Amino acid sequence: MKAKTPKESVVEMTELVLPNDTNLLGNLLGGKMMHWIDIAGAMAASRHSNTAVVTACVDSLDFRYPVRVGELVMLNAKLTWVGRTSMEVKVKVYTENIKTGETILTNKAYITYVALDDEGKPTPVPPLCPETDEEKKDYQEAEMRRNERLKKKAQKLKNVSIENNYSPYTDQ
């Protein structure tokens, strides 16, 4: 499979914060922001892999500043790393105050997606070829995050038989 650069699958998405997206204080709901971040990241991953993708994990998600009703939310999603079937995407979120034109970085997230074939099975993705110094640094840092993630997953799998036995009356 031919390698692709991170630039080739970048997604830029802009949303307007409407009253229905906000809480009682007029601030954007965290869940709505997470939805937009997930969609922007999934589109970048799909562009890279040319497949459907599913979200495997959200590695980190910061909420740095509240976002107000009437502001513009600009999302930039870019691949940082790929494995055999998985891809990590960095999503940076800026908000713009329409009246002042001021923009600030309000959120940053790292999300891992897995490419699926028509049967819903993980399928190989093209290699990623980072070009700029920043992309190369992102790639190295993503690899460290992946190693941490795999460790955590292995730990969780040890407990899975307990977790699968859900009961609303026990606190496990």
Ligand X SMILES: CC(C)(COP(=O)(O)OP(=O)(O)OC[C@H]1O[C@@H](n2cnc3c(N)ncnc32)[C@H](O)[C@@H]1OP(=O)(O)O)[C@@H](O)C(=O)NCCC(=O)NCCS
Residues interacting with ligand X, by CB under 6 A?
54-57, 83-86, 112, 114, 122, 149, 153
CB of 65 to ligand X, least distance (A): 26
- Quote the CA–CA distance of 28 and 50 in Å, as a whole number: 32
- Quote the CA–CA distance of 76 and 95 in Å, as a whole number: 11
CB of 87 to ligand X, least distance (A): 8
Q: Which is nearer to ligand X, 51 or 95 (CB)?
A: 51
What sign for the dihedral angle of Cα 19, 20, 26, 32? negative
Q: Which is nearer to ligand X, 39 or 74 (CB)?
A: 39
Q: Which is nearer to ligand X, 105 or 157 (CB)?
A: 157
- Quote the CA–CA distance of 140 and 19 in Å, as a whole number: 40
CB of 129 to ligand X, least distance (A): 16
